[in-house]
Amino acid sequence: MERTTIDLWVGVFVAMGIAALLFLALKVGNIGGFEAGSVYTTHANFDNIGGLKAKAPVKSAGVLVGRVTEIRFDNDSYQAEAILSLSSQ
Amino acid sequence: MGVSTRFFFLLLLHSGTCFRRPQLILREIFSSGVLSLIIILVSGLFVGMVLGMQGYETLQTYGSEEALGVLVSLSLVRELGPVVAALLFASRAGSAITAEIGLMKATEQLAAMEMMAVDPLARVVAPRFWGGVISMPLLAAMFSAMGIFGGYLVGVVLIGVDEGSFWSQMQAAVDIREDILNGVIKSTVFGIAVTVIALFEGYDAPPTAEGVSRATTRTVVTSSLAILMLDFVLTAFMFRGV
């Protein structure tokens, strides 16, 4: 096959692949979403956290206001301590 | 196993020369990537459509049809995209690589190259390796994107799941680093495995018609097994339910 045709097709192929990756990243994934930067941390103690995991969303009145950054066990109170990053706006 | 490992390191050692001649790699991306486009795109679309249909049937029982986008996108990006694309790539491009190199060996083209002081590893094998390794993640990404589109077609357009919740729940659940990047890593690993197996089988084939045909069969069988086993290992490392 002609060299320029191969170049053209490879170009189209790579462009399509990158477009697919961008589609996955921008449309399917949550790029940006809740940005770090303007956040403050606070913590909350629970007797039982159930199935709560790190990076779970924190919602106030159904609106995303932050995320759970860390979950650890509090040795003094024998409770679970969740560290929350909340948006400071 | 030992011979193939040595072959792999020799291959990496010789790939420096082929980076100085990118035209060779381009040609291989064409033959293993561009020519696999149709099968990847069409099967991605249909896999996504089936996922949409089956997922809807199951989710409907629990009254959570809105999670269809999450189901389709996560299963495609994490597992089905890399794995099925790699299986198709092994049977479409891997077998072609093995047959080509095996025939080159059978017709003594490789020996003739060595006579002319052209290293066949650098001239023939290394460009095919890099062509495959570059094509594979791109093909897997296209497979996933096409599959999500197929799931959208069946779920939203055909069945009538709410479009907004389809996309927004998907965006809330899919993580860039955790899901998409891991999928890309997986498909790159599969690309390396498939092309190394295909190249090694071709290079190692007995130079007879029967030997080449056996090597081609072995390529497809071995690389399919390798993909599925590597997938388990990588999944165990990546998603340990933390």
pLDDT digits over B118-172, tens only? 888 888 888 888 889 999 999 999 999 999 999 999 988 888 888 877 888 888 7
A8 touches chain B (CB under 8 A): no
Q: Is any Cβ of chain A less than 8 angstroms from the Cβ of B30?
A: yes
| Closest CA–CA distance from residue B60 to any residue of chain A (Å) | 22
Overall average pLDDT of the A55-76 stretch: 81
CA distance B170 to chain A (A): 6
* Closest chain B C-alpha to A4 CA, distance in angstroms: 11
Note the pLDDT of residue B87: 94
Q: What percent of chain A has pLDDT over 70?
A: 84
| pLDDT, position A30 | 62
A vs B, Cβ pairs < 8 A, gives 78
Q: For residues B52 and B76, is the Cβ–Cβ distance under 8 A?
A: no
Q: Cα separation of B232 and B118, whole Å? A: 40
pLDDT of B189 = 93
Predicted confidence band of residue B174 (pLDDT cuts 50, 70, 90): confident
pLDDT of amino acid A56: 74
Residue A29 has pLDDT above 70, yes or no: no
ipTM tops 0.90: no
B71–A contact, CB cutoff 8 A:
no
Which whole-number Å values give the CA distances from B157 to B6, B44, B58, B166, in the listed order?
A: 52, 18, 18, 11
- Residue where the block lists tokens 């998907």: B170
Coil, strand or helix at B199:
helix
Nearest to A20 by CA among B3, B114, B187: B187
B1: CB partners within 8 A, 6+ apart: none
**Of A5-19, A45-59, B207-221, which range is least confident?**
A45-59
CB-CB: which of A9, A31, A55 is closest to B176?
Answer: A31
Domain locations in chain A as residue ranges:
1-31, 35-89
Find the closest chain B residue to A25 by CA distance. Answer: B176
A52 in contact with chain B, both atoms CB, cutoff 8 A? no
Smallest CA–CA distance from B184 into chain A, residue = A21
Strand, helix or coil for residue A83: strand
Mean pLDDT of chain B: 87
Q: Does A54 contact B at CB distance below 8 Å?
A: yes
